[in-house]
Homo-oligomer: A and B are copies of this chain.
Amino acid sequence: MQAVVHVAFKKTVLDPQGRTICSTLNNLGHKNVLDVRQGKFFEIEIDPDISQEQAREQIEKVAREVLANPVIEDYSIDWKD
């Protein structure tokens, strides 16, 4: 069982790294790039012996408490079998 957790700054928070990438791309000639926002993702492999419900609860907790800073970041969780 695999969970993919995406973490990125909230839309209301300035993303200086994304801004820098955007202006670099513009300077390289990619003028059609209007905005870039950067984030991280985590592919988490979970013991298939635990129940799906348990796994979901655990990964929700991990995302909220360890991987993301909920004050300035949003996260989302996708599941693969």
Contact = CB atoms under 8 A, between A and B. Distances in A.
Contacts of A30: 58, 62
A60 to B, nearest CB: 12
Contact of A43 (B31, B37, B66): B37
Count of this chain's copies in the oligomeric assembly: 2
A16 to B, nearest CB: 14
Interface residues of A, number: 32
Which of A28, A31, A33 has the largest number of chain B CB atoms within 10 A?
Answer: A33
A9 to B, nearest CB: 11
Interface of A: 6, 8, 18, 21, 24-25, 28, 30-47, 50, 54-55, 58, 62, 66-67
